[in-house]
Amino acid sequence: MRRKNLLVVLLLFLALSALAAEPRQVTILYSNDFHAAVAPMKATWLVDQPMIGGAKAFAGWVGMLRRNEPNPFLFDSGDLYTGQAISSITKGQALIDIFKAIGFDAVCLGNHEFDYGVEGAAAYQNQEPFPVLAANLFYRDGGKPFAKPYAIVEHNGIKIGVIGIFGVDAVPSTGPAIWKTLEARDPLPILRELIPTLRKQVNLIVVLAHQGETGPMQSDAEAHPEVQREFNADKATVEAVPGIDVFIGGHAHRGIEIPWVSPKTGSIVVQTYGRGTTVGVLKLTIDERNKVTAHDGSLVRVTPGVFPTPPGVERVIDKWIATADQAGKEKFGTIASPLVRNYDGESQLGDLITDAMLWRSHADIAFENAGGIRGDLGVGNVTRYDLISVMPFINTLTTIKLTGKQVQDILEQSLTLKVGMMQVGGIKVTYDLSKPEYHRVISVVVGEKPLDADRTYTVVTNSFISGGGDHYTTFLSGKDLNDTGENLVDAVVEYVRQAGQVALPQSGRLVAVNAATGE
């Protein structure tokens, strides 16, 4: 009898061992750079659908994928805030509640989580029920970590070690005042230290990273390969740090339609176009040694109205939309023609903003960074809500004295297109992008006179740029800095109000030519 019992135990053990050795399926769902995209947007670049994205549709698609894919996990790589006006009006609280309702497993901090200061980013961490990560952010005073470096999340017995990193190259895209309190350390040694220890406790290692080139602020960037950013920083990281199974990027808004696999380490790199227009889906097969033996990934387009929004998520979204609408419904002008952005060239929307800056300040020259323009204006009534969606940052109107040489230096930096092309007012710039960087300006006219390198000009810009943001450190060498304290949105509101109906601004301020052909 004892031998029979031993045989049963042995057979049961062998059956369980065989079951344990079977490959397991894991689904990684991911997003990045959501940018307060609560309402769906017009998909002008798609012929088969008029609208795309929106938080309700995003939640519906995520819910469907969670129901139908094996062992799903949901991650985000930062930049939850700032885009549509609902973020600025609620100082990010609407987005915190929406992400809470959707139910992420972990996220990392992006530069826009600091749009409401260090305190705002700390509050975000404290309010979310899921871990908000950044392994390489520390307080300057004392060296204490600012956020959790990693988390272990588990579903159905599968454990994933998740690490968040904030790219050092994302620092210039954050308000300069933040870095008086915090510092972003090199993430590579931190990852090399964390991963071996974490590997012993989990089945997979996932890194959420907000780093690399700044994403293009252009609604139809998905349809324009020429403005798409590279993800070289992500490639370099996984090749410098062995042991990363999945690397989910952010900041570049670089949609990676087919996951990139490092030939050196086997790490899988993915990223979406941002703004909730797609959900990333990465299906993994892992063996008994926790090795990824197969993968299949794609970006799933978020079409509104296909899958129902979970009722709890819908209630949260509707509540905050009503709050934002009440705060921003005032109408103060009309627009006869659409005004849209152009990240790498002159736009009539940029012309309108810089005209308003000149009108308000009486300066000689106006500069507005391309990355500060986050929405477009359609035909019809203009509301405060509309303009906050266009200029969602808490930036103030600032004047500064710059020499003609400094003005030209700023224009040359702009023409590298590293962070898009600076929108201008009061000047006409002729340039040639075929020339080497920092030698692309052909001529500059201020008013009706050529730019004088030795003359001092009054320049109006926003407080982010005047503080050296977006790499524009030339402003730090200017004189007589005067922060008026007036929000840039308010200045444009008053400009539109006094105009009543906004005429198309005079264009031809940024003129591209080719020096070789004269065209």
112: pLDDT strictly greater than 50: yes
Q: Residue 6's pLDDT is what? A: 54
Instruction: Identify whether residues 273 and 361 lie together within a single domain.
Output: no
What are the pLDDT digits (tens) for 28-70? 999 999 999 999 988 888 877 789 999 999 999 999 999 999 9
Residue pair 280/270 in contact by the 8 Å Cβ criterion: yes
Tokens 């030939």 belong to: 263
Please tell me the distance from the alpha carbon of residue 446 to that of residue 363, in angstroms, as a whole number.
11
The number of distinct structural domains making up the chain is 2
Mean pLDDT for the chain overall: 91
Please tell me the distance from the alpha carbon of residue 270 to that of residue 29, in angstroms, as a whole number.
11
352: pLDDT strictly greater than 70: yes
| Residue 378 included in any domain | yes
Instruction: Identify whether residues 235 and 342 lie together within a single domain.
Output: no
Torsions phi, psi for 385 (to 5 deg): -55, -45
Q: Residue 487's pLDDT is what? A: 86
**Domain range holding 282?**
22-321
Contact partners, residue 214, CB within 8 Å, separation at least 6: 170, 173, 229, 251, 252, 371, 418, 419, 420, 470
Query: 3-state SS string over 170-215?
Result: HHHHCCHHHHHCEEECCHHHHHHHHHHHHHCCCCEEEEEEECCCCC
What are the pLDDT digits (tens) for 408-424? 999 999 999 998 999 99
Helix axes 232-240, 187-199, angle to 10 degrees: 50
Q: What percent of the chain has pLDDT over 90?
A: 74
- Domain C-terminal end among 289, 321, 353: 321
Summarize the confidence of residues 154-161 as an average pLDDT.
97
User: DSSP label at 418?
Assistant: B
Please tell me the distance from the alpha carbon of residue 257 to that of residue 349, in angstroms, as a whole number.
31
CATH (domain of 245):
3.60.21.10
What are the pLDDT digits (tens) for 66-86? 999 999 999 999 999 988 888
189: pLDDT strictly greater than 80: yes
Q: Residue 184's pLDDT is what? A: 96
Q: Residue 389's pLDDT is what? A: 86
Nearest to 165 by CA among 185, 139, 140, 181: 185
What is the token pair recorded at 70?
């094996």
Give the pLDDT band of residue 7 (cuts 50, 70, 90).
low
| Residue 27 included in any domain | yes
- Domain C-terminal end among 271, 300, 321: 321
- Domain C-terminal end among 321, 343, 363: 321
Instruction: Identify whether residues 69 and 197 lie together within a single domain.
Output: yes
Instruction: Identify whether residues 235 and 286 lie together within a single domain.
Output: yes
223: pLDDT strictly greater than 60: yes
Give the pLDDT band of residue 12 (cuts 50, 70, 90).
low
138: pLDDT strictly greater than 60: yes
Q: What percent of the chain has pLDDT over 70?
A: 94
Q: Which has more pLDDT, 480 or 516?
A: 480
Instruction: Identify whether residues 417 and 458 lie together within a single domain.
Output: yes
Instruction: Identify whether residues 274 and 414 lie together within a single domain.
Output: no
Instruction: Identify whether residues 368 and 336 lie together within a single domain.
Output: yes
Instruction: Identify whether residues 214 and 294 lie together within a single domain.
Output: yes
| Residue 352 included in any domain | yes
Instruction: Identify whether residues 306 and 378 lie together within a single domain.
Output: no
Please tell me the distance from the alpha carbon of residue 108 to that of residue 121, in angstroms, as a whole number.
11
Q: Residue 394's pLDDT is what? A: 81
Summarize the confidence of residues 430-440 as an average pLDDT.
97
| Residue 388 included in any domain | yes
Give the pLDDT band of residue 19 (cuts 50, 70, 90).
very low
Q: What is the pTM of this model?
A: 0.76
Residue pair 491/356 in contact by the 8 Å Cβ criterion: yes
Summarize the confidence of residues 217-243 as an average pLDDT.
85
| Residue 10 included in any domain | no
Question: Three-class SS of residue 322?
Answer: helix
Summarize the confidence of residues 432-436 as an average pLDDT.
96
231: pLDDT strictly greater than 80: yes
Instruction: Identify whether residues 307 and 336 lie together within a single domain.
Output: no
Instruction: Identify whether residues 380 and 505 lie together within a single domain.
Output: yes
| Residue 448 included in any domain | yes
Instruction: Identify whether residues 158 and 228 lie together within a single domain.
Output: yes
Q: Residue 4's pLDDT is what? A: 57
- What b-and-e string marks burial along 70-103, b requiring 16 or more CB atoms within 10 Å of the CB? ebbbbbbbbbbbbbbbbbbbbbbbbbbbbbbbbb
CATH (domain of 408):
3.90.780.10
| Residue 187 included in any domain | yes
| Residue 259 included in any domain | yes
Q: Residue 388's pLDDT is what? A: 87
Q: Residue 229's pLDDT is what? A: 83
Q: Residue 18's pLDDT is what? A: 45
Give the pLDDT band of residue 15 (cuts 50, 70, 90).
very low
Please tell me the distance from the alpha carbon of residue 122 to that of residue 113, in angstroms, as a whole number.
9
Q: Residue 2's pLDDT is what? A: 53
What are the pLDDT digits (tens) for 353-404? 999 999 999 999 999 999 899 889 989 999 988 898 899 888 899 999 999 9
Summarize the confidence of residues 442-450 as an average pLDDT.
96
Q: Residue 29's pLDDT is what? A: 98
